[in-house]
Amino acid sequence: MEAAAERKPEGIKLKIGKKRGSSAKALSSAGKSRRTLPLYLSMAKIGLIGFGGGSALIPVIEREVVEDQHIVTEEDYNKVVVEACVTPGALPVEIAAGLGKRAGGIRGMLAASLLMAVPGVLLTVVILSLLSNVSAGVMRQIQCLSIGLGAFISCLLILYAVNSLQMARAAGKKRLFRAAVIMAGVFVLNSGSTLFQLLGIQAEPFFGLSAVQVLALAFFGILYTNCRFHKKNAAVAAAVSAVYVLCMGNNGLLAYAPVKYTVWAVMAVLAVRGLIRGIREDAARSGVSVQIRPKPLLLQLLAWAVFTLLLSVPGLLVTSESLPYLIRGLASSVMSFGGGDAYLTVADGLFVHTGMLSNSDFYGSLVPVANVLPGSILCKILAGVGYSIGYGASGTVVGGYSVALAGFACSVSASGGIFCIFAFLYEAFAEVSVFRQIGRWIRPIVAGLLLNVVLSVISQNFSAGLDLHMNLPAAFLITGAILGADLLLLFKFRAPNWLLILLSAGAGLLLCNLAM
């Protein structure tokens, strides 16, 4: 602290060029190998058991790469989560890209992303190609498996929330209180629609903001105030936030386009002003360095482009429809804010309404298959659309696989490339205090969102139970029993992930088959 106080103000430093003297030293090839091999195995495993997808896998990945394998630190993982949460695309793939980049550079980034996405995509395309030969019994067993693993995912989501509060408590009672308030507030804003659906309430919740809308509100508050509250900025932030909630929520009180656009504009202006003010205050105190080094980003984007091109060549040779399909696939990835359900809406508009894929193929075959399998909805749907296009154009399974491969490459590279751009911008401003505040408070914000995901996973389990012709109490008891056992084993005995996965999957298969 004394050294910081004696340092003379240096103003804002803008550094462009090669990084020198960084504390993050380059890993040796042997060190990279020790980190990347466990990372690759972890990404493949999570991709295979990743029922729930998206943000539901944040605590699953954390336990694997931070607590069990020690591949990255808690701080580095939280940075990756921040960067991924504000980026459109497949969230698990983006997190895998960030972890791979830290552990093994560009090669690690590509491989980790690939391994995270492959299991779900491969299962989707194979089942689509064998759909006429896949019995209803096999699909029922997959649903039984998803119920057990859904309970396991819910267990780790709860663990993430508990750990977030424990970390806040270690920093003091004030931090704990603020973290709890943030977590509860985020949950209230985000959980309305899911809670009403779970309880069977046929009404629109008052709030019901999406995860993206909640994150936008949180980042506005942090950027505008820099978490330094006084009467004026607190009043302005509260007023703007209230109008925003009334505009974006399901209450419809201020759901008018001019009001929405005005609120967005006001929030953007205030956030930028707050950011500039924060940078100037940092400069006045001790100087701040904004690191802009475009070369690594350009190399990463080039790697994604080459990756997409190489994997797309077979599909481009199958049919002339492959190129417009890939262009729309890229656009759909960029537009995919809001999770799996939101992506289905985007894909419907770009592929079904344009006549590229029939409504029956999309909703009658692809969506049901993708929904019962692990992995990112974006990657599964885009690859599945590619299979249908390739099979329809060539009349062969090989043609379908070729275009599906191109769609898979597009989904992974679009998510990874966009993530790299956002990560570059975030890391460039890493020393600015307002971005440190984002890193400090992102965990309770994400924890609040994940509590809603717990409800979503439980709701999915209930829906799967009904599809299996179980009654609702039976689905509730099975989910509750597996979740309760997982929580007991986790908190009481610190059971490892692999044991919880095996027990949850086995219990799901056994109990669901007994209840059917």
* pLDDT attached to residue 71: 92
- Report the distance separating Cα 82 and Cα 426, nearest Å: 9
Q: State yes or no: pLDDT of 270 exceeds 80.
A: yes
* pLDDT attached to residue 8: 39
3-state secondary structure 353-371: CCCCCCHHHHHHHHHHHHH
- Report the distance separating Cα 90 and Cα 84, nearest Å: 9
Q: State yes or no: pLDDT of 297 exceeds 90.
A: yes
Q: Do 157 and 59 form a contact (C-beta atoms < 8 A)?
A: yes
Look up residue 496 and give its amino acid: P
- Report the distance separating Cα 315 and Cα 398, nearest Å: 10
Helices (H), 172-321: 173-199, 211-225, 231-248, 257-285, 294-318
The per-residue pLDDT for range 241-258, each reduced to its tens digit, is 999 999 887 766 777 888
Q: In which region does residue 122 sit, left (phi positive, over 0), alpha (psi from -120 to 50) or beta (all else)?
A: alpha
The per-residue pLDDT for range 383-424, each reduced to its tens digit, is 999 999 999 999 999 999 999 999 999 999 999 999 999 999
Q: Which of 295, 271, 268, 276 lies closest to 12, judged by CA?
A: 276
- Report the distance separating Cα 400 and Cα 315, nearest Å: 8
Residues in contact with 182: Cβ distance below 8 Å, sequence separation at least 6, in sequence order: 441, 444, 445, 448
Q: State yes or no: pLDDT of 222 exceeds 60.
A: yes
Termini Cα distance of the chain: 65
| Collapsed DSSP state (helix, strand, coil) of residue 12 | strand
Q: State yes or no: pLDDT of 18 exceeds 50.
A: no
Q: Taken in order 138, 141, 146, 149, is the CA torsion positive or negative?
A: negative
pLDDT band at 197 (very low <50, low <70, confident <90, very high): confident
* pLDDT attached to residue 3: 41
Q: Do 402 and 317 form a contact (C-beta atoms < 8 A)?
A: yes
Q: Do 93 and 416 form a contact (C-beta atoms < 8 A)?
A: yes
Look up residue 298 and give its amino acid: L
* pLDDT attached to residue 1: 38
* pLDDT attached to residue 291: 65
Report, as an integer, the average pLDDT of 279-296. Answer: 75
* pLDDT attached to residue 288: 59
Q: Which of 461, 491, 417 lies closest to 159, judged by CA?
A: 491
* pLDDT attached to residue 343: 84
Say what angle helices 322-334 and 377-394 make with each other, to 10 degrees: 170
Q: Do 83 and 426 form a contact (C-beta atoms < 8 A)?
A: yes
Residues in contact with 328: Cβ distance below 8 Å, sequence separation at least 6, in sequence order: 350, 351, 354, 356
For residue 378 the two structure tokens come to 């974006």
For residue 484 the two structure tokens come to 């309760």
DSSP assignments along 307-332, one per residue: HHHHHHHHHHHH-TTHHHHHHHHHHH
For residue 285 the two structure tokens come to 């105190």
Q: State yes or no: pLDDT of 11 exceeds 50.
A: no
- Report the distance separating Cα 350 and Cα 365, nearest Å: 18
Q: State yes or no: pLDDT of 228 exceeds 90.
A: no
For residue 85 the two structure tokens come to 């949460």
- Report the distance separating Cα 177 and Cα 257, nearest Å: 37
DSSP assignments along 85-106, one per residue: HTS-S-HHHHHHHHHHHHHHHH
CA distances in angstroms from 210 to 200, 219, 245, 249, 432, listed in the order given: 19, 14, 11, 9, 28
- Report the distance separating Cα 49 and Cα 498, nearest Å: 10
As a whole number, the mean pLDDT across the chain is 87
Q: Which of 19-28, 87-96, 402-411, 476-485 is predicted least confidently?
A: 19-28
Q: Do 84 and 94 form a contact (C-beta atoms < 8 A)?
A: yes
Residue 243: other Cβ atoms inside 10 A: 18
Q: Map tokens 């020790």 to a residue.
A: 34
The per-residue pLDDT for range 120-167, each reduced to its tens digit, is 999 999 999 987 666 778 888 988 999 999 999 999 999 999 999 999
Please state the separation of Cα 212 from the chain's center in Å.
Answer: 11
Kindly report the pTM of this predicted structure.
Answer: 0.83
* pLDDT attached to residue 175: 94
The per-residue pLDDT for range 305-354, each reduced to its tens digit, is 999 999 999 999 999 999 999 999 999 988 877 566 678 878 888 999 88
**DSSP class of 241:** H
Q: State yes or no: pLDDT of 27 exceeds 80.
A: no
- Report the distance separating Cα 299 and Cα 296, nearest Å: 5
- Report the distance separating Cα 516 and Cα 500, nearest Å: 24
For residue 516 the two structure tokens come to 């059917």
* pLDDT attached to residue 251: 67
Q: State yes or no: pLDDT of 12 exceeds 50.
A: no
* pLDDT attached to residue 323: 95
Q: Which of 24-28, 165-169, 206-210, 423-427 is predicted least confidently?
A: 24-28
- Report the distance separating Cα 279 and Cα 285, nearest Å: 10
Report, as an integer, the average pLDDT of 42-66. Answer: 88
Report, as an integer, the average pLDDT of 421-433. Answer: 85
For residue 409 the two structure tokens come to 């490459």
**Can you give the residue ranges of every domain in the chain?**
29-292+419-515
Partners of 291 in beta bridges:
15
The per-residue pLDDT for range 70-80, each reduced to its tens digit, is 999 998 999 99
Q: How many CA atoms lie within 13 A of 175 on its CB side?
A: 14
Q: State yes or no: pLDDT of 428 exceeds 60.
A: yes
| Collapsed DSSP state (helix, strand, coil) of residue 14 | strand
pLDDT band at 85 (very low <50, low <70, confident <90, very high): confident
Residues in contact with 159: Cβ distance below 8 Å, sequence separation at least 6, in sequence order: 59, 63, 490, 491
Residue 116: other Cβ atoms inside 10 A: 34
Percentage with pLDDT > 70 across the chain: 90
